Amino acid sequence: MKSSFLRVLLAVAVSLTISALAQTGSAATPSSAAAPAASAPATTPGPTSGTKVGTINIEGAIFGSNEGIRDLEALRKKFEPKQAELKNQNDELEALKKQLTTTKDKLNEDAAATLQKQIESKQKLFDRSVQDAQEDFGNQNQEIAGRILQKLAPMIVTYAQDNAFGLIIDTSKPWPQSPVVMASESVDITKAVVEIYNAKSGVPAPASTGAAKPAAPRPATGTGTAKPAAPKPTEPPKQ
C-alpha cells in the first residue's frame, strides 16, 4: 500500500533541502555583489550554467541506513503474530467457501443460506482486520521514516554544501512520476549520505541473515529509477 503521507513527507524534505541550499548560497555572496531582490524574476528552480547538480533517493536512504533496516525489521517482527492471526482467519474462511462449493447441492435451502451468511460475516471481519493491520503497519512505518528523515535532512544539506552542489534532486519516485528521466550514477549522493548517517547514528550494520545488506539505490535511468534495494517502507502485513 503506497503511503501518500510518506510521499508528501519526502517531498517536503527535498523542498527544505533545496531551500536551505539556496539560502546558504545567498548568504555566502557579498552584499555588494548581490543583485537587488526586486530585479530577480520568479522562475522555476533549475540548474543554471555551472551549477553542480546531485541526486538522492531519500526513501532509499532512510530504509537503506542501518537504523532504517533495524527498525523496519523490528516492526516486521512485531507484526508476525498479526500475520499469523490473519492467515488463520483466511484459512478458516477459505475452508467455509470450499465447504459451500462442494456441498451446496446436498444442503437444503436454509442450511445453504446459513452457511452463506456465515461466510459473508467472516469475510467482513477478515477484510476489516486486514485493513486495520495495514493502516497500523503504515502509521508505524511513517513514524520510523519521519524520525530518521528529521536527522537525515541536515546531513544532506551539509554534504551538498561541502561538495559544492548547487541543486539536489530526489529520485525516490520513478519517471514519469518525477521529472527526472535519467541521471548519471556519478552524481548520486545516496550512498555517501547513508554512510555519513550510519557513522553518526552509531547504529551498527545488521547481522547477516544470509541476505546481502541492501545497497544504496541507483539514480534515475532512461526509463525510470531503480527501486530502492532497502525493504519497501509501505509493505503491509501479509495475509
Count how many domains the chain has.
Answer: 1
List pLDDT tens digits, range 144-190. Answer: 999 999 999 999 999 999 999 999 999 988 888 888 888 888 899 99
Its pTM surpasses 0.75: no
Higher-pLDDT residue of 194 and 181 is 194
Kindly state whether residue 49 falls inside one of the protein's structural domains: no
Kindly state whether residue 236 falls inside one of the protein's structural domains: no
Kindly state whether residue 174 falls inside one of the protein's structural domains: no
The residues with which 224 forms a beta bridge, in sequence order, are 221
Beta-carbon neighbour count of residue 9 at 10 Å?
19
- For 143, the domain range is 75-165
The proportion of the chain whose per-residue pLDDT surpasses 70, expressed as a percent, equals: 66
Predicted confidence at residue 156, as pLDDT, reads 96
Q: What angle separates helix 190-201 from helix 66-78, to the nearest 10 degrees? A: 80
- Assess whether the previous peptide bond of 176 is cis (omega < 30° from 0): yes
Kindly state whether residue 151 falls inside one of the protein's structural domains: yes
Kindly state whether residue 38 falls inside one of the protein's structural domains: no
Kindly state whether residue 155 falls inside one of the protein's structural domains: yes
235: confidence class by pLDDT, cuts 50, 70, 90: low
